[in-house]
Amino acid sequence: MGRYFHSVTLDAEKCKGCTNCIKHCPTEAIRVRDGKAVIKEERCVDCGECIRICPNHAKVAVTDELAELSRFRHTIALPAPALLGQFGPDTLPDQMLGALVGMGFDEAFEVALAAEAVTYAFRRIIESGEAPGPRISPACPAVLRLMQVRFPSLLDLLIPIEAPMEVAARMAKKQALARGSLNPEEVGAFFITPCPAKVTAVKQPVGTHASCVDRAISMAVAYGEIRKNLSTASPVPLRATGPGLGWGRAGGEAMALARGTVLSVDGIHSVIKVFEEVERGRLQEIDFIEAQACVGGCIGGPLVVQNPFVARVRLRNIAGQHWAKTSLFTPAELEAEFASGAWHMTRVVGPRPVMQLDDDVQRAIGKLKLAEEILDRLPGLDCGSCGAPSCRALAEDIAREDADETDCIFILRERVQVLAEGVVDLASKLPPAIRAEKKKDGEPA
């Protein structure tokens, strides 16, 4: 199995081995070894839960630097809808977009525009009834990778449309190249990202052979630069409408879709509970599931600066103000693009079978039986002292020969106690040549 790129990385110097992260990782991708956290890269989905929970700030997201703009002759900023929610009511969207361009970009293309197109594609596929059961949005890359790792049986329910980020990059580059005088390699699309999962989606995409996005800039970094330019930048008109802007918060996809029975779930642990229900064959009455790994949606991403609850209100107000605005796209244009397959994924999203105990079925069955036997001997406290998130996880690690039973402090204590009792018993014994024979009652001394 090849290496996976991950935006989420560990700063070992800051890590104290506190075990907070192992308890919150949704795919049990973290262990503590030799007093430091270790990320099992094949399991990580870059959701950023460990970034949020680490009290020592030892988990960080690797993003691209603004210096990368110099690599391209023409640069396009792709602001996520969540970026609008980062600023107060005194900052108009037009001002924010102008300040974004003022950072050094040649133009800005709102991802919310592409979200309008993706909404149309979702609607067409859901109405076609191509697959039974609830269709699942592929927009959140952390959820997409979660499905690959933990819910491979649900991959057939994914709507095979690219995320708005990819569609926006393709649209923006097409427009830039249509003006003439530019070659494709001279145009760089920079996504302003609220989360590490989207960075990973750029560097190692799922559902497409190569991303149309060239770089991903942290929203927290962009925010500071935008603030510097607000007073001097020329406004750039906001072209997106409310339905596309609403994608930046939980429930926005569902509101834009405005079709059928829709379930919106945010927070990766809540997403897992919903997917478990779908796996059991329930929720058949649901037409569409909008699943967001971050609580609150993209406005709750690890790379945002504003309180997500405040940002939600601000983004909702902006979307409401632009809800009735005429879309940049006509229905005929949307239908033509959809029919051409321009927004469809070009690769099948396959499973990442990293949760199985062995690639060989027979050996996997044997290891599963061994893990169950080991689990019966463990205390079942899920304390994390062993460096694994649960007793079951430790049992599976032992079955894979990645850990030992004595990693459990309670098993170790029992064995030390047995060993100590044995040592005491041995210490009380002497070889026959030097020990005194015990006299029988009545014998003379």
Q: At what angle do helices 196-203 and 164-178 cross, to 10 degrees?
A: 60
Residue 100 scores a pLDDT above 50: yes
pLDDT tens digit sequence for 358-398 = 888 889 899 999 999 999 999 999 999 999 999 999 999 99
Q: 8-61 with 66-340: one CATH topology?
A: no
Distance in angstroms (rounded) separating the CA atoms of residues 85 and 261:
27
Q: Does 26 have pLDDT greater than 90? A: yes
* Length of the chain (residues): 445
**Residue 430 confidence (pLDDT):** 74
Q: Cβ(102)–Cβ(233) under 8 Å?
A: yes
pLDDT band (50, 70, 90) for residue 1: very low
- For position 434, what pLDDT does the model report? 73
Quote the mean pLDDT of the chain.
92
pLDDT at 440: 55
Mention every residue, 6+ apart, whose C-beta is less than 8 A from residue 401: none
Nearest Cα residue to 407 out of 30, 160, 415: 415
The CATH topology of domain 66-340 is Rossmann fold (3.40.50)
Residue 137 clears pLDDT 60, i.e. is over it: yes
Which residues have a Cβ under 8 Å from the Cβ of 28 and sit 6 or more positions away? 22, 43, 388, 389, 390, 393
**Predicted pLDDT of residue 426:** 84
CATH of domain 361-427: 1.10.15.40
Of 442, 264, 66, 59, the residue nearest 256 (C-alpha): 264
Residue 177 has pLDDT above 70, yes or no: yes
pLDDT tops 80 at residue 4: no
Measuring CA to CA, how many Å separate 292 from each of 17, 137, 197, 248?
Answer: 29, 9, 11, 10
Residue 438 has pLDDT above 60, yes or no: no
Quote the pLDDT of residue 229. Answer: 92
pLDDT at 265: 97
Q: State yes or no: pLDDT of 294 exceeds 90.
A: yes
Query: Is residue 5 very low, low, confident or very high in pLDDT (cuts 50, 70, 90)?
Result: confident
Mean pLDDT, range 99-118, rounded to an integer: 96
Architecture of the CATH domain 8-61: 2-Layer Sandwich (3.30)
With pLDDT > 70 as the criterion, what percentage of the chain qualifies? 97
As a whole-number percent, the residues of the chain with pLDDT over 90 amount to: 83
Domain boundaries along the sequence of the chain:
8-61, 66-340, 361-427
Confidence of residue 436 (pLDDT cuts 50, 70, 90): low
Distance separating alpha carbons of residues 26 and 314, to the nearest angstrom: 30
At 2 the pLDDT is 53
> Residue 333 — φ and ψ, nearest 5°?
-65, -40
Spatial separation of the C-alpha atoms in residues 118 and 112, rounded to whole Å: 10
pLDDT digit string, tens, across residues 41-88: 889 999 999 999 999 999 999 999 999 999 999 999 999 999 999 999
pLDDT of residue 210: 92
pLDDT at 445: 52
Decide if pLDDT at 178 tops 60: yes
Mean pLDDT of 339-345: 95
Q: Could you tell me the CA-to-CA distances from 15 to 42, 57, 216, 221, 384 in Å, in that order?
A: 21, 8, 26, 24, 16
Which pLDDT does position 76 carry in this prediction? 98
